[in-house]
Amino acid sequence: MTFSLPDLIGSVAAICTTIAFVPQAIKTIQTKHTSDLSFGMYLLLNLGILLWLCYGLLIKALPVVLANGVTFVFTMSILILILKYKSKSKGEE
């Protein structure tokens, strides 16, 4: 399998941006602390990532599809945890 320069650049960019969300997801899962995270930002980010995923599927760009598919899982997990832990903290107050 040979990669063109655009595919190589896209793949490296995809790996970097996807891995960037791993520490936040791990920290959020471990600490269950989400009060400093913006629900609106993660909602808009998830919408954008979902649209990038759709775009990647439409143009059949594997780096775009893989990166946004994996990133969507991480960011959606964080968004769900924001909703879960904010509702818990409101009930505890």
SS3 21: coil
Q: Which of 50, 65, 62 is nearest to 8 (CA)?
A: 62
Alpha helix segments (H runs only) across the chain? 5-19, 22-31, 39-59, 62-92
Hey, what CATH topology would domain 38-93 get?
Answer: Monooxygenase (1.20.1280)
Q: What is the pLDDT of residues 8-47, one digit of tens each?
A: 888 888 889 889 888 988 998 898 888 888 999 999 999 9
Q: What is the pLDDT of residue 12?
A: 87
Q: What is the pLDDT of residues 47-83, one digit of tens each?
A: 999 999 999 999 998 888 988 999 999 899 999 999 9
Burial 66-77 (b: 16+ CB within 10 A, else e): bbbbbbbebbbe
CA–CA distances in Å: residue 89 to residues 25, 31, 85: 19, 13, 6
State pTM to two decimals.
Answer: 0.77
